[in-house]
Amino acid sequence: MLLSAVATCLVAQSNMQLNNFWENTYFINPASINEKYSAELALAGRQLWAGNEGAASTAFGSATLYDADMHSQFGLKVIGDHIGYTTRFDGALTYAYSLFLSKDVHLHMGLGLGYQFLTYDLSQVRTSDPNDPVFNSNKLADRSNFNSDMGMELYTKNLRIGVSGQHLFSTFNLADTLLGNSTFYAYVNYKEDLKKYINMSYGVCLIDNHGKYTLNSIEYSRDVYQLHLTTAAYFKVTPTAPVFNIGGYTRLPINYAGKKYIPEIGGLFGIEIGDNTYLTYSVDFNMSNINRNSIGTHELMLTYKINPRRKCRTCSF
């Protein structure tokens, strides 16, 4: 029975979300459109709790194409997550439309249709009881599922206000959460665009992880909330050309049912390494005893933006 408990924990601990999603909110919202460029490619790698054997490692990839005449963005997002002996894959095709409320205010609306797949490498399983009934049950069987994302974003030159939901189909399927629970986001991000050598950015995001818990053999739905706060300074060689940024953030879990959740703190660094090419690094530390055996969670993201649009009234971001 120990194997069954471990399998559940391994999947539950994996949080397939970027630390630095402020630089590319498309990772959490299919409605996020970068109207400044005709296309954007991004790759990211994340190592959770480096130094701990079996901790999750995650790879992200996305590609978006924006048609200014159609006010439409077409996108593809792929996420691969490996933790212990489990491997999970998420892929989604997205569509977003930009409604021009005025020349300076646009409302983005987006939908995504995704496919999820979870598999187990039983050759990596170590158990003291080779007759553990879990091996002969469907708890370690490969599984797959279709899912859906949805979001909206109010977009101006300096401000993003967005709401989104990931894995919405899972909201109605609490009986099987191994493929991931539904997650909901509400965020505000403000970024200065002043002709000076340092511009500031501030972000607030409320995250709701909607899933289930069991009490006295009865299953209940639950919502666990996190508050994500971030700030960053963008440095420029000239008053109009950002070169690198440095920032910090914290995640403040909100207590649920009397349980105490441990906060995390982290730092961000980004630099322009070529024309329209950006490299971003982040590190964060969980303020619990797990840090005794860990050197933090590390994340690296490379972004390439294609064909900048010169005439864009909402392009601070």
CATH number at residue 84: 2.40.160.40
The answer to whether residue 202 sits within a structural domain is yes
The answer to whether residue 315 sits within a structural domain is no
Q: Mean pLDDT check: name the lowest of 13-22, 186-195, 291-300.
A: 13-22
Q: Is 51 a residue whose pLDDT tops 80?
A: no
Q: Is 1 a residue whose pLDDT tops 70?
A: no
Q: Mean pLDDT check: name the lowest of 97-101, 118-122, 145-149, 311-315.
A: 311-315
Q: Mean pLDDT check: name the lowest of 77-81, 104-108, 116-120, 176-180.
A: 176-180
Q: Is 270 a residue whose pLDDT tops 90?
A: yes
Q: Report residue 6's pLDDT band, with 50, 70 and 90 as the boundaries.
A: very low
Phi, psi dihedral angles at 288 (to 5 degrees)? -125, -175
Q: Report residue 189's pLDDT band, with 50, 70 and 90 as the boundaries.
A: very high
Q: Mean pLDDT check: name the lowest of 4-18, 65-79, 104-118, 282-296.
A: 4-18
Q: How many domains does the chain divide into?
A: 1
Q: Mean pLDDT check: name the lowest of 4-13, 129-138, 181-190.
A: 4-13
Instruction: Return d(Cα 20, Cα 57) in angstroms, integer.
Output: 16
Q: Report residue 5's pLDDT band, with 50, 70 and 90 as the boundaries.
A: very low
Q: Is 13 a residue whose pLDDT tops 60?
A: no
- What's the distance, CA 15 to chain centroid? 8
The answer to whether residue 314 sits within a structural domain is no
The answer to whether residue 172 sits within a structural domain is yes
The answer to whether residue 260 sits within a structural domain is yes
Q: Report residue 33's pLDDT band, with 50, 70 and 90 as the boundaries.
A: very high
Both tokens of residue 186? Answer: 């509400």
Whole-angstrom CA distances from 72 to 33, 105, 166, 285, 298 are 9, 16, 20, 38, 33
Q: Mean pLDDT over all residues of the chain?
A: 81
pLDDT at 122: 67
The answer to whether residue 316 sits within a structural domain is no
The secondary structure of the chain as a DSSP string is: -HHHHHHHHHHHH-----TTGGG-GGGT-TT---TTEEEEEEEEEEETTTTSTT--EEEEEEEEEEETTTTEEEEEEEEEEEETTEEEEEEEEEEEEEEESSSS-EEEEEEEEEEEEEEE-GGG---S-TT-GGGGSGGGS-EEEEEEEEEEEEE-SSEEEEEEEESGGGGG-TT--TT--EEEEEEEEEE---SSSEEEEEEEEEEEEEEEEEETTEEEEEEEEEEEEEEEEEEEEETTEEEEEEEEEEEEEPPBTTB----EEEEEEEEEEETTEEEEEEEEEESSGGGGG---EEEEEEEEEEEE-S--TT---
Tracing tokens 């054997």 back to the chain, one arrives at: 53
Q: Name 218's Cβ contacts closer than 8 Å, sequence gap at least 6.
A: none
The answer to whether residue 167 sits within a structural domain is yes
Structural domain containing residue 242: 2-308
Q: Report residue 255's pLDDT band, with 50, 70 and 90 as the boundaries.
A: low
pLDDT at 52: 75
Q: Is 190 a residue whose pLDDT tops 90?
A: yes
Q: Report residue 149's pLDDT band, with 50, 70 and 90 as the boundaries.
A: very high
Residues in a beta bridge with 183? 166, 209
Q: Is 71 a residue whose pLDDT tops 50?
A: yes
- Comparing 275 with 241, the larger pLDDT belongs to 275
Phi, psi dihedral angles at 200 (to 5 degrees)? -110, 155
* pLDDT tens-digit series, residues 195-225: 888 999 999 999 988 766 554 555 556 778 8
Q: Is 109 a residue whose pLDDT tops 90?
A: yes
Please state the rounded mean pLDDT for residues 224-230.
89
**Residue pair 83/91 in contact by the 8 Å Cβ criterion:** no
Please state the rounded mean pLDDT for residues 51-75.
90
The answer to whether residue 194 sits within a structural domain is yes
Q: 71 exposed, middle or buried (CB, 10 Å; 0-12, 13-18, 19+)?
A: middle
Q: Is 8 a residue whose pLDDT tops 50?
A: no
Whole-angstrom CA distances from 239 to 129, 176, 195, 242, 243 are 66, 53, 5, 8, 10
Please state the rounded mean pLDDT for residues 75-91.
89
Q: Is 148 a residue whose pLDDT tops 90?
A: yes
